[in-house]
Structure 1
């Protein structure tokens, strides 16, 4: 997820969505129920779904997933910007009905991914306005999707954006991407390179943060997933140079290992599905198998997206890629895409 990855709980990303065990497991509602309830017929295929409703150019959204009262996966696509720093609304997509509704807005974009814990979606950092040193946020928000309410929590220890998030044992793991130049003036607009590897854990039970061992590589706009109780992060940028590194964090030992690099470097989104790490770099689609430490190429998506999450439809797991725009003015929303593994 970009956040991730990078929009499961986890989106990255470039905006990552969050990464929870085996992806964001679950996530309301005007569209075409018939079109949505029939999943793609063939395996390893992408099927176009309803795009987020038009609202002009949209960049840097982030997403998470949670179930509604009927047990249907609802994908929440937060924020984004029109390119001028104006924050946009929250869209809720019902996978079963292939339809969108609007929820409360929050003026944040390019947050550090999304993580689902209990009945809330958590996301931290991001930008409050156009990308300037003073625009970085360190706020942690918990979104109660049943009440459609944003709740402010203890601040992230660093002002950061464009990172990734994962959930392990009901705790949030956050690796910010870019950091505030106000605090790290070595690089105007962004923090000094080294702090972009800083890694944190948040416990919602105590509303506290803990600083963990730093990541071995830089993953601004990378993808993330949680598989087997470990946190995987791939791709992204070091400064403005694309990277292909894959790193895995083991919370049991507070250590990182570097694994086989992803076949393509650059901005990535990803999540876990059936025990494997699915990563989109642009439209290229790769799958990492932790058991063999190898990558495979899978069917490419039609569009580049802001986030990808794991969803459930008719009792089966799929991936849903959301966000992104195209057209002469980048004002036409890309179709959402459902992937059948």
Structure 2
């Protein structure tokens, strides 16, 4: 799990999406400060946990944008340190991923991959293994399609990697989902995501849930789930606001989302069982590109930054008691999505599935916010055909508005 690096973006689109949702009542949550990270902190670090420790790998610091240190936090002792790891344990990198496989066993390995090196935002093509028990380097593994700012998840001994920035110039994002089997050293290519973007999430009960993301132009509010057993994706709906650069942690069936590139105070919990989202206000200082973990019923958040300058790197660690947060929250249910396919479309012809069988307006806008199509959707329509064959290649926003219903939006790419 990791947070993305953003380039220039179109803020008008992000605002357009976020204002389409109703304003929700929020619940207050109180955080307590704990021991600060060493070296002035880290942002864009890979992070993961086992039953005893939290791990922070690489990331930018106040002194440099790329570090190769591994730090370990002991929640029982409230202390940070290098533990068995040495300075420069991994290749200097930021916006990479760390994951633990076979935690708390003699074969427990820390997997480090997809970090962007000092040569640019292209991910390092070779992953690294470090033994969690003693910090000994345990070899490397190939990563045939590396992408920085990518999401990862671990389930049943396999490492899943999805999305991310594949190239810096021109800025290119991927929708690939792949699974790595450490027993065979083989990557398997699985069903791709609906959108190419940097996106983060977590695995719960055999499904990988992903939230929002950034595609090089705009942020997303989309929620999707990948069923590992069937190798299929399902669009679950949209969040009330866009989200990107968030930290992610799991407590039971709840997935916590902490921070956002723009709304750095964002804090929410998504219930994977009910599809409901609960948002919170808190005293946690705002941040993006942070790290998070859950242990003993507490949500821990550390590091991150507040702007692109290394000087905005954060070192603080905070903890909140979230054990009592009800999973069956009565708050905002994620809305059914507006869907359009295929995307990307080589011909410009799209089939759009409305979120409800109601009479509505479907408005299509280009990347500059100019309306290029306005269609009346009749009541009961199961789908609508949209023809953008006469439009230039690029990103387009589709917005559906039915009388007395919340608006819904999605994005498509015309190749």
TM class by smaller structure: 0.7 to 0.9
Q: Go from structure 1 to structure 2 and tell me whether the alpha carbon gap of 1:257 and 1:47 turns closer, same or farther (over 3 Å shift).
A: same
CA contact (8 A) 1:229 1:250 kept: yes
The equivalences for 1:176-195 within 5 A come to: 176-181=163-168, 187-188=169-170, 190-191=171-172, 193=173
Identify the residue that residue 3 of structure 2 maps to in structure 1.
13
Report if aligned partners of 2:210, 2:225 keep a CA contact under 8 Å in 1.
Answer: yes
Corresponding residue for residue 320 of structure 2:
339
CA distance in 2, matches of 1:306, 1:96: 25
In 2, the alpha carbon distance for the partners of 1:215 and 1:332 equals 31
Q: d(CA) in 1 for partners of 2:196 and 2:281?
A: 27
Following the alignment from structure 2 to structure 1, what is the Cα–Cα distance between the partners of residues 227 and 310? Answer: 43
Summarize deviations over 1:302-340 as a string: whole Å, max 9, x none: 23153444343xxx2322112124699626633111121
Structure 2 gap segments, 5+ residues each: 6-27, 103-107, 323-415
Structure-2 change in CA distance of 1:274 and 1:45 (3 Å): farther
Cross-structure match for 1:77? 56
Q: Do the aligned partners of 1:175 and 1:200 also contact (CA within 8 Å) in 2?
A: yes
Give the whole-Å Cα distance in 2 for the aligned partners of 1:262 and 1:302: 22
Distance 1:148 1:110, change over 3 A: same
Q: 1:229 corresponds to which residue? A: 206
Aligned to 2:289: 306
Give the direction of change, closer, same or farther, for the CA distance of 1:151–1:305 in structure 2 (3 Å limit): farther
State the 1:50 CA deviation.
Answer: 1.5
Question: Partner of 1:54: helix, strand, or coil?
Answer: helix
TM-score by length of 2: 0.62
**2:100 aligned residue:** 116
Identify the match of residue 155 of structure 1 among 142, 146, 159: 142
The one-character-per-residue Cα deviations of 1:106-145 (angstroms, maximum 9, x if unpaired) are: 234334432221112223111121525xx53122222211
Shift, 1:58, TM fit: 4.2
Confirm or deny: 8 A CA contact 1:161 1:179 kept in the other structure.
yes
Whole-angstrom distance in 1 between the partners of 2:187 and 2:35: 38
Give the corresponding residue for 1:65. 49
Gaps of 5+ in 1: 4-11, 16-42, 68-72, 182-186
Of 268, 276, 284, the residue aligned with 2:266 is 284
- Structure 2 counterparts to residues 119-130 of structure 1, below 5 A: 119-130=108-119
SS class of match (2:39) = coil
**Relative to structure 1, is the Cα distance of residues 176 and 138 closer, same or farther in structure 2, using a 3 angstrom cutoff?**
farther
Matched, 1:201 2:179: yes
Deviates more, 1:247-256 or 1:139-148: 139-148
Identify if the C-alpha distance between structure 1 residues 130 and 154 changes in structure 2 by more than 3 Å, giving closer, same or farther.
closer
Rg comparison, structure with higher value:
2
Deviation of 1:63 (Å): 1.0
Give 1:156 shift.
Answer: 1.6
Check the 8 A contact 1:320/1:339 in 2, yes or no.
Answer: yes
Distance across 2 between alignment mates of 1:241 and 1:113 = 23
Deviation at 1:172, TM superposition (A): 0.6
2:308 equivalent to 1:321: no
Provide the rounded CA distance (Å) in 2 between the counterparts of 1:329 and 1:86: 10
2:218 counterpart residue number: 241
Per the alignment, residue 376 of structure 2 pairs with: none
User: For 2:39, which of 27, 31, 54 is the aligned residue?
Assistant: 54
CA contact (8 A) 1:54 1:332 kept: no
The structure 1 residue matched to 2:77, chosen from 83, 97, 105, is: 97
